[in-house]
Amino acid sequence: MRLRFLGAAQEVTGSLLLVEVASGTIAVDCGMFQGRREESRQRNRQLPAEAIHADVAILTHSHIDHSGNLPTLVKSGFTGSIYATPATLDLCAYMLRDSARIQTGDAAYLNRKFQNDPDWIPIVPLYDETDVLQALERFVAIPYHHAFEPLPGVKATFLNSGHILGSAQLVLDISDNGHSRRLVVSGDLGRQGLPIIRDPEPPPLPVDYLVIESTYGNRLHGTVEQMHDDLERVVKDSVRRGGKLIVPAFAVGRTQEILYVLHGLFKAGRLPAIPIFIDSPLAINVTEVFRLHPECFDAETRSFLDEHGDVFSFQGVRYVRTPEESMEINRHAGPAIIISASGMAEAGRVLHHLRNHVGDERSTILIVGFMAQHTLGRRFVERRPRVKIWGLERDVRARVEVLNAFSAHADRGDLLKYVEACGAMRRVFLVHGEPDQQGPLRATLAERGVCVHVPERGDTIELE
C-alpha cells in the first residue's frame, strides 16, 4: 500500500491524504487551503487528479480545512461515497452550504468594489449551493465503533478524537498483497477535559502506521481550568474599558465552548451581566446540531444540562441571524461580547466588526484558536501595528488577547502521550503542522526511537 500526502503537509490547512491499496484508493479528507489569496485560489480550484479519481472518500471531521473542498472534488468528477460520522454529516450540511454562501457573497462584494480597477481579476466562487447538495448526496453516515468496508479488503472504524462534535480518528485494517496492516489516521486530536465533548479515545493496538496531526507539536497549552480564569480576566477588563470584545471563532466547537464557559462563569457570579451577540447564522445552526447530538456530550456537560437546562441559551445571549440585525450591533452602546465567524478572520461577518472596532482602543480582539500563516487572525497574533481588512490598511488600536487554553487541538504533551500509547510502530508521519511545530516534535520522537517522517506536499510513500 502507498500513502500520498497531497495537503496539510508542513502546513495546517487543505488536508488531503490518499491511501492506495490493491483494491483501490481512499481519499481521507479534502479540506480548503487557506493562506495567501492567489495561492489559495489556485490550489483550491485545481485538485490533484489522483484525488478526483479516488474510489471513496472518508472525512474525519467537519472543519472546513478538512471538509471544505469536498464539493470541488465532486464537481471535478469524483463519484464515490463520502463516509463520515452522523454528527459530521449534520454539521457539513450547514457548513458547506455556508462556505458556498460566503464565497458567493465575498466574490460579489469584491468584484463590485473593484469593478473600476483595470488590474482586478474578477473572483469566481469555487462552488455554489447546488454543488454542495451534490456533494452531500454522496455522504454515508457511520457511527463511532461501527466497522464498515469502504473498499474490498479494508475495514474502517471511526473512534472519537475529542476535537469537535462528531470528530473522528480513522482506523484502517488493511489486507493487501497477503499482508495485514493497521493504519491509524488521527485526524485533528482534541485535549483531555475540553468542555462539552468526550475526551479522545486511545488508539487500538497494535498500530503499524500512524498519520498524526502536529498543529501544536512544540507548544504546551494552559490547563483547561485556566480557560475559565483567563476568560474572566479578559471579559472584566473589556467591561472596565467600556469597549466591545470581539471574538473571531469557528462556528463549530469554539463558539459553543466559549458560551459554555461564559454560562458557567455567570452562574458562579464571576462575571457581570453583559450582552453576548452570536453573530453568525452558521453558529446558530451548528448550535442546533449540538442540541441534536447529546450522545457526544461528556458527563460534566450532561449534568450541567440537567442542572441549568440549555447549555447554549442564557440571559444576555442573543443569536443574530439577519444582516440587518448584525448591523444593529454597531449601534449598541456600551460593552458587549461579539462572537462571530470566521475563525481565522479571513471571511464572514467578523470582518465587519473588526473593521468597525480595530481602531478603537477601548475594544478587545480575543483570539482563541490556531491562526494559519498569512491569515488576518495570524496578523493579530503577531501584534502587527497595521492590518489590511478588505484591501484597506487600518491601525490596530484595539487590545489583542490570545488565549491558547481554548485550543481544540492536542498540545505537545498530548501528542507525545498519544504516540506512546500506540506502542511500537513501523512508521509515524507528522501532518497538519507548520515546520516550527513539527521539527521539535519530530526530534523528540526520534530520540525516543520512533521512526518518524515529516512528508512534504506531493510525497508518495510505499509501506510494507
CA–CA gap between residue 236 and residue 147 (Å, rounded): 48
432 binds Zn ion, rule: CB under 5 A: no
Interface residue with Zn ion among 29, 90, 188, 208 (CB under 5 A) is: 188
Helix (H, G, I), strand (E, B) or coil at 189: coil
The residue (of 170 and 245) whose beta carbon lies closer to Zn ion is: 170
Decide whether 83 or 277 has the Cβ nearer to Zn ion. Answer: 83
The three-state secondary structure class of 113 is helix
Choices 139-147, 184-192, 369-377, 410-418; region in contact with Zn ion by CB under 5 A? 184-192
Minimum distance from residue 41 beta carbon to Zn ion (Å):
22
**Closer of 63 and 228 to Zn ion (Cβ):** 63
Name the one range near Zn ion by CB under 5 A: 32-40, 100-108, 180-188, 351-359: 180-188
Q: Using CA atoms, how far apart are residues 335 and 212, in angstroms rounded to an integer?
A: 42
How far apart are alpha carbons 290 and 313 in whole angstroms? 12
Distance CA 27, CA 4 (A): 9
Residue whose CB is less far from Zn ion, 250 or 304: 250
Residue closer to Zn ion by CB (options 352, 409) is 409
Under rule CB under 5 A, which residues in 37-66 are in contact with Zn ion? 63
Q: Residue 355 and residue 268: Cα distance in Å, rounded?
A: 34
Stretch that binds Zn ion, among 181-189, 224-232, 344-352, 384-392 (CB under 5 A): 181-189
H-helix segments, 54-203:
64-67, 70-75, 86-113, 129-136
209: β partners: 183, 427
- For residues 10 and 186, which CB has a smaller minimum distance to Zn ion in the complex? 186
CB 277 within 8 A of CB 336: yes
Could you tell me which residues are beta bridge partners of residue 182?
173
User: Dihedral, CA atoms, 270, 272, 273, 278, nearest 10 degrees?
Assistant: -70
Question: In b/e form, how buried is each residue of 163-186, taking b as 16+ CB within 10 angstroms?
Answer: bbbbbbbbbbbbebeeeebbbbbb
Beta bridge partners of 28: 17, 58
Q: How far is the CB of 280 from Zn ion (least distance, A)?
A: 17
CB of 418 to Zn ion, least distance (A): 16
Site string for Zn ion, 232-251 (x = CB under 5 A): --------------------
Q: Which is nearer to Zn ion, 63 or 263 (CB)?
A: 63
Look at the block and give the residue holding cell 502536529.
Answer: 214
Q: With CB under 5 A as the contact rule, which of the stretches 5-13, 84-92, 185-193, 263-271 interacts with Zn ion?
A: 185-193
Rg, the chain, Cα only: 22
CB of 124 to Zn ion, least distance (A): 27
CA distances from 410 to 55, 61, 155, 207, 282 (A): 31, 15, 27, 20, 25
Smallest separation (angstroms) from Zn ion to the CB of 88: 11
Q: State the minimum distance, in angstroms, from the CB of residue 307 to Zn ion.
A: 30
- In this structure, are residues 312 and 259 in contact, taking their beta carbons and an 8 Å threshold? yes
Min CB(154)–Zn ion separation in Å: 24
Nearer to Zn ion, 188 or 414 (CB): 188
Q: At its nearest, how many Å lie between Zn ion and the CB of residue 92?
A: 13
Closer residue to Zn ion (CB): 80 or 166: 166
Interface with Zn ion (CB under 5 A): 63, 188
